Structure 1
Amino acid sequence: MSMLARTTAAAAALGLAALGGCSASPSADPAPDPVLASVRWAEHALPAPPGPPGRTVVRDAVGCGAGWWVVGAVFLDHPTETRDTRPAAWFSTDRETWAAVPVTMTTYWGRRAILSSVACSRGRVVAVGARAGGAHGNPRVTTFRPAGDGLVDVRTTFVQYGGVTATNVGPVSGGDAGWMIAGNRTSGPGVWVTDDPRGFTRVEGEPGLTDDGDLESLAQAAGWTGSEWVLVGAGSRIGHRLDQDPLAWTSSDGLSWTAEEVPAEEGFEDLHRVVALDDRTVVAVGRSGDTFAAWLREDGAWSTAERFGAISDDWRGTPYVASLARTPLGLLATLSTGDHYELWRSGDGRAWTRVEVPLEPPTAGDHTLVAAEGDELLLVGDSGDGGHVWSGAVVER
């Protein structure tokens, strides 16, 4: 599939082409899904946020409350010795006309944060950002909460996201119960949970999450099912890191956790993103060997992987799933093959087809492609030349 020119595509109807979805079973070779619909993508401008000028970058988006949020940062044209980025966010009620929202920064690292993740709960958003620095050059994490018509950074202690037991902080997700940030500590997977955006509770060393013996596990993301949190990732036994198995944990309150068994196959497998498809089905998407794959949890039981797509033979960056969202087209997953980004669609989590998009950024540290969760289609992308936002309209065939 050739990459389309980066121009407004208001007049182009881009088909949902069935480009190679495949089954997890080698013996079964189903026919490709038929073309179900087409999408008309239209690019819309993001205004420059107030403040020192620079290159706008976008990292995540979500539908929430009365409109849509996009978050990212500005890479300053004229950096100083201590500051070369600042956080940025935009809001739109119709996905077409966007306004930069005020981001109030009261902390040292908040003034420098790149907002990488945003999630919605009960009509409000929380964003998570970070900027590497300090004595050891580690990411310094800051959360941002709603304030008026914009965002403000939240003051907290260094050990809340860092400290001697720190490993990493991942994306934030939202649900009826509030927000959850997935991550890892030296004891194993850890999370930060809250129903109040003014502060998170750190959960680490909890028996249901702590590594045991020679197991080394890593959490990647969390999702809300309507009644509980599901945390996904992978783990391996010491000395067998190439045979990594998918892992999942569940919790009704984000504090006490229970590990669940996910069917594993030989080789490298890892769950990267998870969402609830409906009130009984959860879908997690990640890597399985040299392909991507989806795992389904139906009525509390996980099934084996359904493979789709392919990881590049000559990848320049680590292959991963950048986003997984519920949309009017069903589930949309954006993934990096290690060479470039792609968009894939599924109605049931099993059969996946590739979706043509207006931009397929090459894999790089400052590039991305993300499908937003919400009741309309929204796509954001960044190929190192500034942030892009597209609305999508489904055209029935």
Structure 2
Amino acid sequence: MRPLRAALALAGLVLFGACAAGPRNAWAELSLPGSGPLRDAVSCGGHWYVVGGRSGGTGPAAWSSADGRTWHRLTLAARPGSYYGPRSVLYAVACANDRIAAIGAVGGGAHGNPRISTWQQRPDGSLAEVAAAFETYGGDTAVDVGRISGGPAGFLIAGNRTGGAAAWLSPDGAGFRLFENAPGLAGAFARDGAVLDGSFVLVGGLGDAAAAWRSTDGTSWRRVGMPVEGGYAEAQRVVRAGPALIAVGPRGDTFGAWRGPDWVAVGRFGKPDATGIRSLTVSRGRLYTAAAQGLWRSDDGGRSWLTVTTPRAATPLSAVAGTNGDLLLLAGDRVWLAHGV
């Protein structure tokens, strides 16, 4: 009986390993000076960056660290006379050519609609609010301004206007140009984007199906088909993983992944909720994606996924960022660092 018991015990360990990864104590909680709500994080130019709001949520804040353990607040410079910029919370950040750019928002005006600001990193490391006409992010055709992504060609913001999906492009974060009503995007919606070598990618949906588009300059977009399956699907986050693109989002009654740029459906994981996918990152070839209720990892390009054990207090999750086998995990006003989970 002993060999049989040993075999059963080993089988149990194998099955458990397929469901969870990383011991709970793998995560070390960090202290960010004066932190309030934390919204997003990125690795850029050998540093970690976290963005969000000051303690009490009364204005924008950002932090930087060279080793993930010792942090300092970045200087933020609002435009002279700016009303909404100093009151916004930074909710998205991206890296291009070793510098970051971020998006902030705060409700305002007669209807309390989000007032959007973007912030560019200066050579001294500080963040400066970028001047923009009201109609760039607002106006009669505004719907939402979503995620920001970066790459060799600069920065891309994905969002939506009343005519359909829209994109904002900038080579350096110093000013964004809006592309709305562009050929190929009518009636669609965009959730996220990726900046490649000489082209830009948007992902989102068209009707009940997930969809992706590609453009060389933002003026026109070519739809690249994603497989149509039964049930509702949309691509909510996308990341570059080596030569491939990986997108994730609701796919029927689970979350699912797609692998591009030719877009084939790969693995499934979890169960969608109203908040959907919050974050997607790559760390030493592994994919990590966060939804409010959990964190998942894929070691094979999105074909299979396992849950990652997170700290008990890390709920709901806000974002995950990775580099060189390290991960930063954000939830509320708290942040953790782990290696190799």
Question: Could you report, residue by residue, the CA deviation over 1:248-293 in whole angstroms, capped at 9, with x for unpaired residues?
Answer: 10112333311111111121111100112221x2111000122110
TM-score (norm 1): 0.76
Instruction: Quote the RMSD (CA, aligned, Å).
Output: 2.4
User: Equivalent residue for 1:134?
Assistant: 109
| More helix per residue | 2
User: Equivalent residue for 2:329?
Assistant: 380
Are residues 17 and 362 of structure 1, via their aligned partners in 2, closer, same or farther at CA, if it must alter by over 3 Å? Answer: farther
Matches of 1:36 and 1:113, distance apart in 2? 36
- Aligned letter for 2:98? G
Match of 2:60 among 64, 87, 99: 87
User: Is 1:260–2:260 an aligned residue pair?
Assistant: no
Match of 1:306 among 267, 271, 291: 267
User: Equivalent residue for 1:108?
Assistant: 83
| Deviation for aligned residue 1:308 | 1.1
The 5 Å alignment of 1:150-161 reads: 150-161=126-137
The DSSP-based 3-state class of the residue aligned with 2:118 is: strand
Task: List gaps (5 residues or longer) in structure 2.
Answer: 1-12
Are residues 351 and 150 of structure 1, via their aligned partners in 2, closer, same or farther at CA, if it must alter by over 3 Å? Answer: same
User: Equivalent residue for 2:320?
Assistant: 371
Cα pair 2:87 2:106 within 8 Å, conserved: yes
| Deviation for aligned residue 1:334 | 0.4
User: Equivalent residue for 2:287?
Assistant: 331
Matches of 1:183 and 1:35, distance apart in 2? 34
| Deviation for aligned residue 1:154 | 0.9
User: Equivalent residue for 2:54?
Assistant: 74
The 5 Å alignment of 1:1-397 reads: 32=18, 40-48=26-34, 56-76=36-56, 85-106=58-79, 107-147=82-122, 148-211=124-187, 217-236=188-207, 244-279=208-243, 281-297=244-260, 300-311=261-272, 318-328=274-284, 330-336=286-292, 341-347=293-299, 348-359=301-312, 361-363=314-316, 368-383=317-332, 387-394=333-340
Matches of 2:170 and 2:52, distance apart in 1? 23
Cα pair 2:154 2:195 within 8 Å, conserved: no
Matches of 2:211 and 2:268, distance apart in 1? 17
| Deviation for aligned residue 1:228 | 2.5
- Aligned letter for 1:229? F
Equivalent residues, number: 325
Matches of 1:388 and 1:289, distance apart in 2? 32
Cα pair 1:286 1:321 within 8 Å, conserved: yes
Identical positions, percent: 38
The DSSP-based 3-state class of the residue aligned with 1:249 is: strand
- Aligned letter for 2:305? W
Cα pair 1:102 1:150 within 8 Å, conserved: yes
Matches of 2:174 and 2:15, distance apart in 1? 45
Matches of 1:254 and 1:94, distance apart in 2? 36
Cα pair 2:93 2:149 within 8 Å, conserved: yes
Cα pair 1:18 1:34 within 8 Å, conserved: no
The DSSP-based 3-state class of the residue aligned with 2:335 is: strand
